[in-house]
Amino acid sequence: VQVNIPITTGILGGEIEVPTIDGKAARMKIPAGTESGQIFRLKGKGMPYVGGYGKGDQHVLINLKTPRNLSKRAKQLVEELDKEIREHQADYATTKVGF
């Protein structure tokens, strides 16, 4: 299942509710530093085993959602965060393309 979470939850970590295959919901911890495209596993929340006891695992694909319309204050805060991270993390803005 794919789950959209706020970019702030990806940065700081937190707990989210994930829909499960059986129509219920499960709580899942998101570790700080989670990136879009990461896949997590909910143990025992997947499809039932064929002819057996128990259930498999459900995989959860995380999509970080970026806000589109920021207030002036929110934009200032993001700019401050960007500046702080760029000054203290050498690999922050590194982009690798190709092989």
pLDDT tens per residue, range 45-95? 999 888 878 899 999 999 999 999 999 999 999 999 989 888 887 666 666
Contact call for residues 89 and 37 (beta carbons, < 8 A): no
- Domains recognised in the chain with CATH numbers: 2-67 (2.60.260.20)
| Cα gap 99→52, rounded to integer Å | 44
Dihedral over Cα of 65, 70, 74, 77: its sign = positive
pTM: 0.79
Q: What is the pLDDT of residue 24?
A: 93
